[in-house]
Structure 1
Amino acid sequence: MPLVTMLPLLMLMDMEASTAAGNHQVPVIVNHFNYGYASGMAPGAGIAVYKAMYSFGGFMSDVVAAVDQAVEDGVDILSLSVGPASVPTGPSAFLNVLEMQLLFATRAGVLVVQAAGNGGPSSTSILSFSPWITSVAASTTDRRYNNSIVLGNGQSFSGSGLSPPTLSEVRFPLAAASDVCKGNTSSALLTVESCQETEPFIRTLVQGKIVICTYTFDFESEAASIATVADTIQKVGAAGFVLTMDPDISSEKIKGATMTLSVPGLILNSMEASTALREYYNSNTLRSRSGRAISFRATAKILDGRQASYNSQDPVVASYSSRGPDVNNALLDTADVLKPNIMAPGSSIWASWSPNSEGDQYIKGQNFALLSGTSMATPHIAGIAALIKQKHPGWSPAAITSAMMTTADVTNGYSSTPILAQQTNQLTPATPFDFGAGLVNPSRAIDPGLIFKATFKHYVLFLCSVPGVDEMSVRRAVGVGCPSKKKAWCSDLNTPSVTISNLVGSRNVIRRVTNVAGVDETYQVIVQEPLGVSVSVRPQVFNIIAKASKHITFVLNATQTTNTYSFGEIVFQGNQNHTVRVPLAVFVSSTLHS
């Protein structure tokens, strides 16, 4: 069962491939410490890797060529964590050259899974546009890595850093980097506080101490790295380090704070904690008249930060995960397409890493790394899709996506409360523009009951319905013209969601469901109406025999002008324990018929 993983950078290839189809129960060993055991989503899947991007970025032509080669090689699933930097120009984002290449891949039977982007929590930040693509949002998990530094006065500050502890229970002297360096040091462009070079340090002063380093502008310009801090501390013989925030760049979080460390180390991502630590240090450091430190009486110990804690905390939509609504063009006109489609874990994900990679200075030389992003959520969906494809080899890409979407979770397993989304400094109930149909549920996706099918000709009809796109543009893009002159809406595409970006009066939406359960089943349709919309369904109760299909009509009537999106859902409840959810997203522009 071929599975292709194609990535934006060489450094991500191992990570994506191992997440989607890595071997079962592989020990995750970094800096001689075993962090546990990892398995890919589909350990038995075959992997084909196509290099199309480089550390500097890449060219669309190379990506298109890689997709074309993958299709020619007969892959089943394409995991794609690359996309445009912004919404493409032209009559429609759906006609962009990459979108068209992915449409042709879909026509060849290849399921395309693409990262939604890391532009959240801003709305319309999605960078995966087309309905033939499965766009993936990212959630947090309940696994946390926390570390602490305990001061001699009993104060304790939490931070990050997957590091070993300082030796035994001994508290070591604290020393600011500038107090254990040569006074007349002029080190190129780097400040001694950033702890990037060994030469400025006075070995007899620094050895056996925990060094207070500072996250200076050197880090913001990428002239410095936390990995180099750890390397410097090890070479000069210090007991460890604590990296504090600089008041001059206090608004910036410290980058790379979840990296693994070979020496005791802690990253304080709090200005309050950084200030309190320095106040303790300064009040316990004796200085000469010239200001030189002559006695280091402040002490501390760093605890073990390599042990994960699991707090049974419900997953939430990660703040960085790009949000809908989907857009049709560079003018950000919204489209009748739900994006993202589905959500999977994307924060603090362990996966394999090439030790020869030059792509990320924080993790160079390691065999595993811990990273976050929709790029890490995407291979989860690709691997789950491979499992579904193995179970149902005849299913089309649309059928596999439908199975994952209609069975996704919108409530939490721990608390049975609605899934939340991280916004700026707050949590709010997640909407379909945050997580699509919800958090993927692999066990239910294998047996969804009903699926929504769509083929190449349906996607062509969709393109012919896009506002601002004429038939000639469609013909140039896909090689065929529009199938009919009959007026159609983009919302007519047979997807497991309904999005209407401009509801004026009323609209009939028809969906065709297919019974894949293997048994006859009777369904009752339950509607949760969006604000400002009344929804009626025909038929409201129906029986569907195995392998048969049935048309369902949704009639959406505008009852209140909202001038914003409101959300609801249509649930098909079967008597054979199948529950099929279809999210609704509607923007009511007017209650008057056009």
Structure 2
Amino acid sequence: MAPGARIAVYKALYTFGGYMSDVVAAVDQAVEDGVDILSLSAGPSSVPSGDSAFLDVLELQLLFATKAGVLVVQAAGNGGPSSSSVISFSPWITSVAASITDRKYNTTIVLGNGQSFTGTGLSPPTDGEIDYNIAAAADVCVRNATIITVDSCQNPEPFIRPLVYRRLIICTYTFEYEYEAASIATVADTMMEIGAAGFIITLDPNIGPEVVKGTMLTLQIPAIVLNDMQASSALWEYYNANTIRDKRGQAVAFAAKARILDGRQALYTGQAPVVASYSSRGPDVKNALMQTVDVLKPNVMAPGTSIWAAWSPDSEGDKYVKGQSFALISGTSMATPHIAGIAALIKQRHPKWGPDAITSAMMTTADRTGHSGAPILAESSNELIHATPFDFGAGSINVSQAMKPGLIFNVTFKHYVQFLCAVPGIDVKSVKKAVGVACPTKNKFKCSDLNLASVTISNLVGKRKVIRYVKNVSHKEKYTVHIKEPLGVNVTVVPESFRIKRRGSRRLRLVFEAIEATNAYTFGEMVLKGKKHIVRVPLAVYVGSASSS
């Protein structure tokens, strides 16, 4: 994302995970070394115990990194689509959700009868424009071999070499793959050793429509995974109809043929980003009791599915790509470096901007809709639904617009301390012990008053006044305020329009009035429209009790 950036790498994690002390030490060293952006594709395995997640040792270390001027970008987690599954909690951290992009990798097999089926497999095509004979693994192995071992194609020993040479071998995705006793990588090694032209993996009817593991592995031999039961059945039907067997049922002639096309070419569908099912969701929580808090998480979304990245051949992190120099990986850990790189580009253009300004710029300019204007969708358990700020934060990152946001929301270390002092259930003495600063004696500050580029109210009872300050980082401009109210809430903003000079600031007073108890979060948006800039601020409100009036 930022090809001119200098990268510093700090070893803190291992194949088994790691220790919090190592992560904290790595963060501390990075700050001491003077980095501008900290990309953290790691987090706790669960909500930290104690009075508040915000006082956890890693959260506090990242607060001090922010105080030092370092923008912390952290993966939101891969616990979606469950509610409150985010593992990046604090408002001083930019938490990243992951999307599916319009880039697809499909492989096609063309049978000798003209039928063709689409599957997966990042592999080269079969040589030339010719068809190759197909043979089932069980038909080209010694008779005394165990059928399960043969079908899964994990061992080269049972195969009869003259029968497999230059043929496409049919293997079966069995329960062994599900329990990781077998892998597609091993199939590829086996096929290369026995001299096969390539391989086809079909689904075992006893397993059903499972998600096949390891299909994003880059292969050196032609291959296709038919991860569709209908395609698997059709292939077997064609194969059996064109294979001659003796009275004992043993194959004696193979007439079924096919060729595999190139599976390494990316296809672009033009569809809008979709929130990935695995991407962790809000609302944010303040403790292990899963009590929600007035902070929007995640903050922003970036591509995280099927991302090409450099990979250490010696890494034990994923056995499916062991030995590879590049890998196609999915997760919020892959979305996070996108945001870190974009943040570096913004920092390059605006070197005096702090972490708060950079995060604000990315959030207020993010996309809530696709190119067609339709709302961005999110993968749920078994369907696509309209995405909310708890799915994608402020929206999908828009790089060009983030460079020129018009207005930004500034937050200082002092404000973060006020936020900590206002979190319900936190002992003020714990705050002073943790950050070295005492809480104000008369603290009228509410968590929702933190000057973020979003407004979240976790329990609206009656009315709530919320103050926001915007700073102009462009030329003099006039803005008008437009509100899309959350369901069950009346929102007023003063002023309704304003002029703001270059480097000037304006105070916005928002009043949220509960008019109907929803007993659920509802969402809206405040849009500040200028002649050259549009600034969007997501609103998330849980109405606990409506106004008596």
Q: Distance in 2 between matches of 1:424 and 1:570?
A: 30
Query: What's the counterpart of residue 286 of structure 2?
Result: 328
Percent identity over paired residues: 67
Query: What's the counterpart of residue 432 of structure 1?
Result: 389
Deviation at 1:186, TM superposition (A): 5.3
Map Cα deviations across residues 502-527 of structure 1 (whole Å, 9 max, x no partner): 1111100001111111x222211111
TM-score (norm 2): 0.97
Q: Aligned pair 1:367/2:330, yes or no?
A: no
CA contact 2:149–2:155 (8 Å) conserved in 1: no
Structure 1 counterpart of 2:482, from 520, 526, 529: 526
Q: Distance in 2 between matches of 1:87 and 1:211?
A: 48
CA contact 1:124–1:326 (8 Å) conserved in 2: yes
Bigger shift: residues 419-428 or 556-565: 419-428
Query: What's the counterpart of residue 369 of structure 2?
Result: 411
Does the C-alpha gap of structure 1 residues 100 and 483 become closer, same or farther in structure 2, counting only changes over 3 Å? same
Letter paired with 2:412: T
Letter paired with 1:539: P
Q: Distance in 2 between matches of 1:317 and 1:346?
A: 9
Query: What's the counterpart of residue 505 of structure 2?
Result: 549
Query: What's the counterpart of residue 130 of structure 1?
Result: 90
Q: Distance in 2 between matches of 1:388 and 1:291?
A: 68
Map Cα deviations across residues 252-281 of structure 1 (whole Å, 9 max, x no partner): 311121221111100111122222222332
Q: Distance in 2 between matches of 1:130 and 1:106?
A: 11
Q: Distance in 2 between matches of 1:291 and 1:478?
A: 77
Q: Aligned pair 1:80/2:40, yes or no?
A: yes
Bigger shift: residues 91-100 or 108-117: 91-100
Secondary structure, counterpart of 1:49 in structure 2? coil
Letter paired with 2:320: Y
Letter paired with 1:271: M
Q: Distance in 1 between matches of 2:8 and 2:489?
A: 47
Q: Aligned pair 1:350/2:312, yes or no?
A: no
CA contact 1:504–1:593 (8 Å) conserved in 2: no
Deviation at 1:107, TM superposition (A): 0.9
CA contact 2:271–2:370 (8 Å) conserved in 1: no
Matches within 5 A, 1:309-320: 309-320=267-278
Q: Aligned pair 1:583/2:538, yes or no?
A: yes
Structure 2 counterpart of 1:66, from 10, 19, 26: 26
Q: Distance in 2 between matches of 1:234 and 1:193?
A: 16
Map Cα deviations across residues 543-589 of structure 1 (whole Å, 9 max, x no partner): 122112221110000111111111110011123x1111100011111
Does the C-alpha gap of structure 1 residues 454 and 244 become closer, same or farther in structure 2, counting only changes over 3 Å? same
Q: Distance in 1 between matches of 2:27 and 2:293?
A: 25
Letter paired with 2:94: T
Deviation at 1:158, TM superposition (A): 0.7
Query: What's the counterpart of residue 164 of structure 1?
Result: 124
Q: Distance in 2 between matches of 1:70 and 1:483?
A: 32
Query: What's the counterpart of residue 8 of structure 1?
Result: none
**Can you give the 5+ residue segments of structure 2 that lack an aligned partner in the other structure?**
none
Q: CA-atom RMSD, angstroms? A: 1.7
Structure 2 counterpart of 1:283, from 218, 238, 241: 241
Q: Distance in 1 between matches of 2:55 and 2:124?
A: 52
Deviation at 1:301, TM superposition (A): 1.6
Map Cα deviations across residues 381-426 of structure 1 (whole Å, 9 max, x no partner): 101101111111111111110011011111212x122211122232
Letter paired with 1:541: S
Moved over 6 A (4+): none
Bigger shift: residues 493-502 or 369-378: 369-378
Q: Aligned pair 1:477/2:437, yes or no?
A: no
Q: Distance in 1 between matches of 2:382 and 2:114?
A: 30
Structure 1 counterpart of 2:107, from 140, 144, 147: 147
Q: Distance in 1 between matches of 2:50 and 2:504?
A: 41
Deviation at 1:108, TM superposition (A): 0.9
CA contact 1:506–1:593 (8 Å) conserved in 2: no
Map Cα deviations across residues 180-239 of structure 1 (whole Å, 9 max, x no partner): 11221359xx72211112111111111122111112222223232212211111110111
Secondary structure, counterpart of 2:252 in structure 1? strand
**Can you give the 5+ residue segments of structure 1 that lack an aligned partner in the other structure?**
1-40
Map Cα deviations across residues 3-22 of structure 1 (whole Å, 9 max, x no partner): xxxxxxxxxxxxxxxxxxxx
Bigger shift: residues 476-485 or 525-534: 476-485
Q: Distance in 2 between matches of 1:493 and 1:474?
A: 17
Deviation at 1:251, TM superposition (A): 4.6
Q: Aligned pair 1:488/2:407, yes or no?
A: no
CA contact 1:212–1:241 (8 Å) conserved in 2: yes
Structure 1 counterpart of 2:520, from 564, 567, 570: 564
How many residue pairs match? The answer is 549
CA contact 2:209–2:228 (8 Å) conserved in 1: no
Secondary structure, counterpart of 2:439 in structure 1? coil
Matches within 5 A, 1:221-236: 221-236=179-194
Q: Distance in 2 between matches of 1:404 and 1:434?
A: 16
Map Cα deviations across residues 283-340 of structure 1 (whole Å, 9 max, x no partner): 3333334332222232222111111122222221122211111111112111111011
Bigger shift: residues 562-571 or 519-528: 519-528
Query: What's the counterpart of residue 264 of structure 1?
Result: 222
Matches within 5 A, 1:98-113: 98-113=58-73
Deviation at 1:593, TM superposition (A): 6.3
CA contact 1:90–1:329 (8 Å) conserved in 2: yes
CA contact 2:209–2:227 (8 Å) conserved in 1: no
Q: Distance in 2 between matches of 1:169 and 1:427?
A: 40
Query: What's the counterpart of residue 511 of structure 1?
Result: 468
Q: Distance in 1 between matches of 2:230 and 2:45?
A: 36
Map Cα deviations across residues 441-475 of structure 1 (whole Å, 9 max, x no partner): 11111111111111111111111111221112222
TM-score (norm 1): 0.89
Query: What's the counterpart of residue 25 of structure 1?
Result: none
